[in-house]
Structure 1
């Protein structure tokens, strides 16, 4: 399937019941190789909640078959002539975005996730740029090889553990990006992270690394000890989601990054924690619309609600360098790639503490 002597094979979702652990290992045809492409022999791939929302159809109709996984890391085995920043033999990674137009104002300003023509997902996308791969589907990292436009391939810094780095490529940068954009540790000294899960644990680690005072916000105390180990100096439990839970902490935060997918999250409670000028940024993506909100809390408190998606290759590179420098460690559990179905079921049942990483031992990954 390539003029190199390797086949593209991966765990394929063939229908909505794939979420029950029914992925099937099959061969597939990647996009046709272009001179700005890179092929990666995958050793590690993180398991992200987005993978589950996609294979189950929770975010909408799916063009099956799909190979999910967008926290891809491995060895570069083929490089197009137009690619200069990685070479064969390098260890490189790809996050949740695989392509964009590369020409609009957003792309030129290193804001490729917000491309005017739309981003191409690392899976469940279709390539639209002119070239041999135009119109082809994108396939992700629960697989043995991955082909991606070189612009979205990031070299992994030396000294960063590969299993630790993989889930940073989507999970890590999804929180790092808004923390950076909204001034965590500089203009936003006091930062709250809602939800202590795959994304939230990165929020705590990176907010602390950026120099902020960090508050963990969770519906129960069950993860309090973990949150403190990750850098939280304060913990707010929102058992009931009622005003009393939030009252003692009113107007004590400059920025909140909310990672929960809970459609019933107490948004007004979170907003009450912000000082005037503060921002509540959503990075979780509930499968249903959020409840309607009154205007007055926004008007009378000068607070803002917004959203943020993944991160550009430039931001991913910056985050990985910070992780290498400060020795930031994702809290992970390694799982063999051949056990992908069980990992999906366990992730769906909220067993991950706090990120599963599929390890492809056949390609040299170490369990």
Structure 2
């Protein structure tokens, strides 16, 4: 299939008017030996898209097309690409390249490479070309960060897994979650609900944690055995201690931090997987750590090896995110972003209708 020299996209032209996305064209980086061009068919709308579009994480360039939960068909391969053929159904997550040579890259920690290139809001080191995401007809990325989608996953189900799903699954892998592990999931939203689904598939006993009781029945529907509302006084009293809490909220202020740590058994872990706006920080009293031996850490997306495993695991265990599809257009992107800021989605939008919009 023929790939155009310029790609069409929908994105932010003016950060001060981020809820007014517009169509634009951009020239991708020159096709390298290990790159692939992907014709996009579906793209999940991640919470990171909102942070990127409204300037929470800086304003490095415009126009900017966000979107890093991308599924489509391979349209062209670089001369050294051997694992993909034109027509393969593939996906791309939040990372599109790394240096490939450092100790981290050589030990399956490419997602922590100090020269990581993100799928948007980043630059290719060789040319200083800005990256553009999946709100576009095509994306050009390294084949090392491109993944075959298993036959058992539909494109719309696979899309949210490539960032949100992997982001929730990764800390479960790091914590060694298996049958009987007691897992707390703080925040029942786009990432949180997928984290519960994965934790249950791994055999964990899950406690869902939210501010109030509004999502209690939903948490039970997802498979959580227990529910905690942090607005309730003394919510940390007399509870079974958890092995790990995965905090999926976009703010560090969910409930009382000290009380949340009280829910974790000695030598257990609190793992953050989201980044708040730049003006928010996390304050930790070392005394809390000394008195409980709890470890506090973070987890950043997943390595290519982990993403491949996650996709196969999701297909095997029939992991299906709760999604709402919406055809891509300037108006519909704006509507979806606004609804997300209002918390009006259960739980993930997936953009579809690329062939209708970009080929009209």
Q: Is the 8 A contact 2:40 2:354 kept in 1?
A: no
Give 1:161's aligned residue: 154
Establish whether residue 124 from structure 1 lines up as the match of residue 88 from structure 2.
no
Counterpart Cα distance in 2 of 1:193 and 1:4: 43
Corresponding residue SS for 1:33: coil
Instruction: Tell me which residue corresponds to 2:142.
Output: 149
* Greater mean deviation of Cα atoms: 343-352 or 98-107: 343-352
**1:279 — aligned with what?**
269
Q: Deviations over 1:199-240 (max 9, x none)?
A: 100110011111111110011111111111212111111115
Alignment check: 8 A CA contact 1:43 1:364 kept: no
1:259 aligned residue: 248
Aligned CA RMSD, in angstroms, stands at 1.8
SS at match of 1:247: coil
Give secondary structure in 1 for the equivalent of 2:128: coil
Equivalent residue number for residue 176 of structure 1: 169
Question: Any idea what SS the aligned residue of 2:236 has?
Answer: helix
1:315-330 alignment, distance < 5 Å: 315-330=306-321
Residue 66 of structure 1 aligns with which residue?
64
What are the equivalent positions in structure 2 for 1:13-162 lying under 5 Å apart? Answer: 13-20=12-19, 22-115=20-113, 117-128=114-125, 130=126, 134-162=127-155
The unaligned stretches of length 5 or more in structure 2 are none
Are the aligned partners of 1:42 and 1:360 in contact in 2 as well (CA < 8 Å)?
A: no
The number of residues matched between the two structures is 354
Equivalent residue for 1:246, pick from 209, 232, 236 = 236
Distance 1:346 1:216 in 2: 24
Which stretches of structure 1, 4 residues or longer, exceed 6 Å deviation after superposition?
none
Secondary structure at the aligned position of 2:184 is classed as strand
* C-alpha spacing 1:110/1:196, structure 2 compared with 1 (3 Å): same
Query: In structure 2, how many angstroms separate the alpha carbons of the residues matched to 1:291 and 1:204?
Result: 24
Instruction: Tell me how far 1:6 sits from its aligned partner.
Output: 6.4
Tell me how far apart the structure 2 counterparts of residues 75 and 65 of structure 1 sit (CA, whole Å).
Answer: 25
Residues 1:336 and 2:299 are matched in the alignment? no
TM-score, normalised relative to structure 1: 0.92
Provide Cα deviations, 1:292-325, integer angstroms capped at 9, x if missing partner.
2221121011101001111112111111101101
Is 1:208 aligned to residue 200 of structure 2?
yes
Q: CA deviation at 1:264?
A: 2.0
Among residues 336, 346, 356, which one is paired with 1:353 in the alignment?
Answer: 346
Change (3 A) 1:234 1:195: same
Q: What residue in structure 1 maps to residue 305 of structure 2?
A: 314
> Aligned pair 1:220/2:212, yes or no?
yes
Identify the range of structure 1 (325-334 vs 294-303) with the bigger mean alpha-carbon deviation: 294-303
- Secondary structure of the 1:40 match is strand
Q: CA-to-partner distance for each residue in 1:45-99, whole Å, 9 max, x for gaps?
A: 0001111111111122332111100000001110112111111110000000011
Q: Are the aligned partners of 1:18 and 1:55 in contact in 2 as well (CA < 8 Å)? A: no
